């Protein structure tokens, strides 16, 4: 066989793979990510990109490990420079040398920062690092100097350490108090007692909930022998201080603050940055030891707000690290890594490791030889799609391409991104107690804004629980509607919230009041329950019990809002701002169709029933996913489509997926391009004429 004939056979092979497979650049999440929720594939990392930053931060960790003096650095970069991704790479690379914490700067109120930091610190510490069997929290606990001295198990316990730890609480507390008597531990009996309970599987979850600042029920507090929860800024700060002060013999704790643009705004419209930098200064001035603070921020945001920070607080930022653009060689390596899985499907590898792309495309688009990682990935996606569309014209022999990047495909791409993010949120938020009442209300407020609800005002309640509430103006009426959302377990807290609700009604601050609460409302003899019945029984005020699914929808939308604020939300190759996101969410009507809480509040109408319900299972999301995937790809292999749908909806049978594909073809929304071919060779395309 001649070399030219061999090349033709090879090209047919790789082209067939390109026809049937998903665009590999569509599988990349360009939005801002939490490095504990979004696992990075270490094989898809170009080591040379931002390697200098990795080295700088590793050097800082070495210094911190020696003197335990907390330090702060700013990590600055333009949108698309890879800030959030770099935080994840830092965690993956340096997790053996430090405990990593991811903190979104989206606290609902600037009076809530310490509690927000504590909650997210514990949320990250309970995660299990790669290659480990236990959480960061347990690794941290076991590495404390109180337990690592060679004489401890012999003199103190005379037995297996962890068995003794579970059985002798008072001895454990006494030993830690003696070991750290000069460290200045806040509430040592309570704190060390809760650390003891971490080793008891039956009390572990409750101990973690107390450490993160949850408002626990009286029964839960009794189980871990505490009388109060961490419900003030001072208490949250002091617990964080404890973490640092007793861990000076272990690894540092790295606090990664991401998405700076999502923090609250001041009345003048600027980011309310000064309260955050007050907190940062406290890590230094108040002797909070063993913390490395990394602030990830867009360069423009940093420049716009830097003058609004007090000079003394600026001095606490010890190093400013700016992310550099990447080179053409690094850009080529990025393409290589993302195309490699596709090439591995070919009978023989292409001569170019970035086929069907080329270095010439990079040189033409970036004549200066430098660009940002996101730009490279978006360009790769577009150029790959152009090549694939060229293959369609040869397949259909009609001399034209049917696929255009219009509004339909942008909407389809958004809905696919939504499905992926929703699945992550489902696995991350397994119960409502993982979110504070303030966080839940913030999520609801963002969704109401997207739905263009008029006259939204936060903090309907006054005092301590103000962030649990909001009010808005009812459509076509001058009357205001109030909403209060509390999931706190303590009946004492519930009483105070109900009392605040009573005051709102007495002051005529709203015409109708909704209470959102999935938890119980207490026994009839409790004062909180009596107030609850007085307000919400046989009156026009209503109590709504939200489903966990409804919260998943609110949380998914909030995740998109955070990405949009940080200029990390890219759809159809364009960066989408919050206004563009709100438009997309209204066009898709995802919240209208699926968020039952919004139905119960009377803010959206119930969707019409869909005939695609089989054995009480709703197949609409599966059908939408299939059609949206076809739209974004233009055309693809039927087996690949079935595989993608199966991966996204693991509880759906393959026969049902085939049924939905047939239904879309019957509805003329999609069509099989080569219906006479065997199933494994069939290609399916979107029918844009319908």
pLDDT tens-place string over residues 310-347: 999 999 999 999 999 999 999 999 999 999 999 988 88
Out of 3-7, 128-132, 665-669, which region has the weakest mean confidence (pLDDT)?
A: 3-7
The residue-averaged pLDDT of 575-596 equals: 92
Instruction: Assess if CATH 1.10.260.40 describes domain 613-686.
Output: no
Q: What is the mean pLDDT of residues 123-130?
A: 93
Written as six digits, the tokens of 335 are 């393409």
Q: Quote the pLDDT of residue 3.
A: 39
Specify the range with the lowest mean pLDDT, choosing from 47-61, 215-229, 245-259: 245-259
Contact 663, 684 (CB under 8 A): no
Distance CA 317, CA 100 (A): 19
pLDDT in tens, 509-519: 999 999 999 99
DSSP readout, 204-239?
HHHHHHHHTT----HHHHHHTT-S----SHHHHHHH
pTM over 0.85: yes
Domain layout of the chain by residue ranges: 3-18+329-403, 51-134+251-323, 144-246, 407-606, 613-686
SS (H, E, C) 463-495: HHHHHHEEEEECCCCCCEEEEEECCCCCHHHHH
Average pLDDT rounded to a whole number, residues 51-67 = 93
- Tell me the mean pLDDT in the region 566-572: 90
Provide the mean pLDDT of the chain: 88
Tens of pLDDT along 151-206? 554 444 444 555 655 568 888 888 889 888 888 899 999 999 999 999 888 999 99
Q: Is the pLDDT of residue 565 over 60?
A: yes
Average pLDDT over residues 215-231: 94
Q: How confident is the model at residue 11 (pLDDT cuts 50, 70, 90)?
A: very low
State residue 179's pLDDT score. 86
pLDDT higher than 70, residue 295 = yes
Strand partners, 320: 74
- 8 A C-beta contact, residue 31 and residue 417: yes
* Measured CA distances, 267 to 105, 302, 387, 420, 495 (Å): 18, 19, 50, 36, 32
State the average pLDDT over residues 526-530.
Answer: 95
pLDDT of residue 2: 39
Max mean pLDDT range (196-200, 388-392, 480-484) = 480-484
Assigned CATH topology for domain 51-134+251-323: Rossmann fold (3.40.50)
Higher-scoring residue by pLDDT: 90, 164: 90
- Please compute the mean of the pLDDT values over residues 455-477 and round it to a whole number: 91
């Amino acid at each position: 066989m001649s070399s030219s004939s061999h090349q033709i056979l090879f090209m047919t092979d790789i082209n067939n793979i390109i026809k049937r497979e998903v665009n590999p650049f569509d599988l990349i999440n360009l939005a801002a990510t939490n490095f504990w929720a979004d696992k990075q594939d270490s094989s898809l990392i170009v080591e040379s990109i931002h390697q200098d930053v990795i080295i700088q931060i590793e050097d800082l960790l070495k210094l911190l490990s020696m003197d335990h003096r907390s330090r702060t650095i700013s990590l600055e970069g333009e949108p698309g420079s890879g800030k959030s991704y770099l935080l994840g790479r830092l965690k993956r690379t340096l997790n053996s040398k430090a405990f990593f914490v991811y903190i979104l700067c989206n606290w609902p109120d600037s009076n809530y920062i310490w509690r927000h930091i504590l909650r997210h610190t514990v949320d990250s510490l309970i995660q299990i690092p790669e290659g480990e069997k236990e959480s960061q929290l347990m690794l941290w606990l076991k590495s404390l100097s109180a337990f690592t001295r060679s004489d401890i198990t012999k003199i103190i316990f005379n037995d297996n350490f962890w068995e003794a730890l579970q059985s002798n609480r008072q001895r454990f507390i006494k030993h830690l108090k003696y070991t750290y008597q000069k460290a200045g531990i806040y509430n040592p009996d309570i704190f060390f007692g809760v650390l003891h309970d971490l080793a008891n599987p039956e009390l572990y979850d409750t101990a973690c909930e107390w450490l993160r600042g949850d408002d626990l029920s009286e029964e839960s507090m009794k189980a871990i022998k505490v009388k109060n929860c961490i419900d003030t800024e001072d208490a949250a700060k002091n617990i964080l201080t404890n973490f640092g002060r007793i861990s000076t013999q272990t690894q540092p704790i790295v606090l990664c603050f991401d998405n700076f643009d999502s923090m609250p705004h001041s009345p003048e419209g600027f980011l309310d940055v000064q309260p955050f930098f007050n907190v940062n200064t406290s890590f230094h001035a108040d002797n909070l030891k063993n913390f490395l603070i990394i602030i990830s921020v867009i360069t423009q945001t940093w420049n716009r707000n830097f003058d609004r920070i007090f000079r003394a607080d600026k001095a606490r930022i010890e190093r400013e690290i700016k992310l550099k653009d990447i080179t053409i060689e690094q850009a080529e390596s990025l393409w290589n890594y993302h195309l490699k899985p596709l090439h591995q499907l070919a009978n023989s590898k292409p001569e170019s490791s970035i086929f069907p792309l080329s270095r010439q495309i990079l040189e033409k688009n970036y004549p200066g030889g430098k660009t940002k990682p996101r730009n490279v990935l978006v360009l790769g996606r577009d150029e790959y799609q152009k090549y694939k569309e060229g293959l369609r014209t040869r397949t259909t022999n009609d001399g034209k391409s049917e696929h255009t990047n219009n509004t339909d495909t942008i909407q389809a791409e958004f809905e696919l991104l939504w499905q992926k993010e929703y699945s992550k949120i489902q696995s991350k938020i397994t119960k409502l107690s993982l979110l504070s009442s303030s966080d839940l209300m913030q999520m609801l407020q963002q969704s109401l804004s997207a739905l263009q609800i008029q006259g939204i005002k936060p903090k309907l309640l006054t005092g301590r629980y103000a962030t649990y509430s909001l009010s808005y103006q009812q459509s076509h009426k001058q009357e205001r509607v109030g909403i209060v959302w509390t999931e706190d377990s303590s009946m004492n807290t519930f009483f105070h919230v109900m009392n605040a609700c009573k005051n709102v009604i007495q002051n005529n601050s709203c015409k109708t009041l909704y209470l959102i609460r999935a938890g119980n409302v207490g026994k009839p003899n409790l004062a909180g329950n009596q107030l609850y019945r007085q307000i919400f029984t046989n009156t026009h005020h209503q109590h709504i019990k939200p489903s966990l699914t409804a919260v998943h929808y609110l949380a998914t939308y909030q995740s998109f809002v955070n990405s949009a604020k940080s200029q990390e939300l890219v759809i159809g190759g364009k960066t989408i701002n919050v206004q563009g996101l709100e438009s997309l969410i209204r066009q898709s009507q995802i919240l209208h169709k699926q968020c039952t809480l919004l139905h119960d509040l009377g803010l959206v109408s119930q969707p019409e029933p869909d005939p695609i319900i089989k054995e009480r299972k709703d197949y609409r999301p599966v059908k939408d996913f299939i059609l949206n995937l076809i739209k974004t790809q233009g055309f693809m292999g039927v087996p690949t489509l079935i595989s993608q749908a199966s991966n996204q909806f693991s509880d759906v049978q393959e026969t049902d997926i085939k049924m939905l594909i047939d239904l879309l073809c019957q509805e003329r929304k999609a069509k099989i391009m080569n219906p006479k071919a065997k199933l494994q060779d069939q290609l399916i395309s979107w029918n844009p004429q319908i």
